[in-house]
């Protein structure tokens, strides 16, 4: 298990009801797996929204299949629409 910090931005912050959370995750967990864990932990965050979120690991954008290292800071950014 490794400890990580998860940050929520924009509408995700509103739905989660918090700016951040600290979690213990198994070694080798991917961003996609973490998204599923967060949907379970925070019922107001729906899976479809998380599916479309951008993620960063330690301030670098990453893909769903990327593994999360120990003691990482993960940030999630929901899609933005505008004109």
Q: How far apart are CA 22 and CA 9, in angstroms?
A: 15
Which CATH code for domain 2-77? Answer: 3.10.20.30
Nearest to 32 by CA among 8, 58, 59, 68: 68
Q: How far apart are CA 26 and CA 15, in angstroms?
A: 25
Enter the pTM of the model: 0.93
Summarised one tens digit per residue, pLDDT across range 30-49 is 999 999 999 999 999 988 99
User: What are the 10-residue block averages of pLDDT along the chain, 83 residues in total?
Assistant: 96 96 96 97 92 96 97 95 62
Nearest to 78 by CA among 29, 35, 28, 33: 35
Task: Indicate the SS3 state at residue 2.
Answer: strand
């Amino acid at each position: 298990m490794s400890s990580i910090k998860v940050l929520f931005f924009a509408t995700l912050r509103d739905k989660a009801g918090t700016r951040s959370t600290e979690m213990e995750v198994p070694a080798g967990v991917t961003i996609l797996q973490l998204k599923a864990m967060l949907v379970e932990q925070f019922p107001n965050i729906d899976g479809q929204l998380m599916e479309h979120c951008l993620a960063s690991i330690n301030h670098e954008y990453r893909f769903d299949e990327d593994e999360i290292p120990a003691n990482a800071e993960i940030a999630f950014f929901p899609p933005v629409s505008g004109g």
